[in-house]
Amino acid sequence: MASLEVRRSPPRSRRELEVRSPRRDRYSVLLPTYNERENLPLIVWLLVKSFSESGINYEIIIIDDGSPDGTRDVAEQLQEIYGSDRILLKPREKKLGLGTAYIHGMKHATGNYIIIMDADLSHHVSANLFYRKQKEGNFDIVSGTRYKGSGGVYGWDLKRKIISRGANFLTQILLRPGASDLTGSFRLYRKEVLEKLIEKCVSKGYVFQMEMIVRARQLNYTIGEVPISFVDRVYGESKLGGNEIVSFLKGLLTLFATT
């Protein structure tokens, strides 16, 4: 009886396996902070819990703008707890604006998807919702919306709600962006899309978020929306004041005139 000869393939190197295997998605969360000492530990814990339960590969990049309340010290402690492979600290010496914070953080991001959000616990964390929505429609951007479906705002007084609704109404009338919430700051981007949009955007501060969606529409990027609950901060003071409202109106008019 003839014997059977079994031929074994030579073992592949780790590099060969990585090349042959499909790339695993990785999500980089950009967390700009300024005086968020009380909120930072909880938002990081919620993110870690959400990603871990979903089996999603992730990193959290904390960009602190020279907070005088010790936010950076707290971030260093969190890095010790969760590991430097999960928590990256990329601080700056002073407050330089939201848009530049994202640019700074993105330079260090290793993920092929970028999530931007506030560190003040105003966004109820659900990595799964954004992940599923992106895969469902292969969207370039997934934006959280307070003004559609089950989305909503909690903890604001009537004045703040009127300001928010009024701002969103004005942007819809003037810019016709194709998205229901332009001023929200909880979004997921393909990394290459975010890089391209940042190249095009010129706004700073709160107007930056609005311009990102407007530019995305111009460049024909696809946008999916996920209803979110926005809850007013528990700790610390809101950074939205009269100066920010004036800047928003100026930015809105500038976008209307140039897009």
Task: Give the pTM.
Answer: 0.79
The DSSP element (H or E) to which 113 belongs, if any, is strand 113-116
Calpha distance 224→145 (Å, rounded): 10
Q: How confident is the model at residue 4, as a pLDDT?
A: 37
List domains and CATH numbers for the chain.
24-258 (3.90.550.10)
The DSSP element (H or E) to which 60 belongs, if any, is strand 57-64
Q: How confident is the model at residue 240, as a pLDDT?
A: 53
pLDDT in single tens digits along all 259 residues of the chain: 444 343 444 444 433 433 333 358 999 999 999 999 999 999 999 999 999 988 899 999 999 999 999 999 999 999 999 999 999 999 999 988 777 888 899 999 999 999 999 888 887 777 778 989 999 999 999 999 988 887 877 777 787 778 777 777 887 888 777 788 887 889 999 999 999 998 888 776 667 888 889 889 889 999 999 998 887 755 555 555 556 677 777 777 777 777 6
Spatial neighbors of 40 by CB under 8 A, at least 6 apart, are 31, 33, 62, 71, 74, 75, 78, 119
Spatial neighbors of 183 by CB under 8 A, at least 6 apart, are 164, 167, 168, 171, 206, 209, 210, 248
Q: How confident is the model at residue 91, as a pLDDT?
A: 95
| E runs forming strands in 139-228 | 141-145, 152-154, 187-190, 223-227
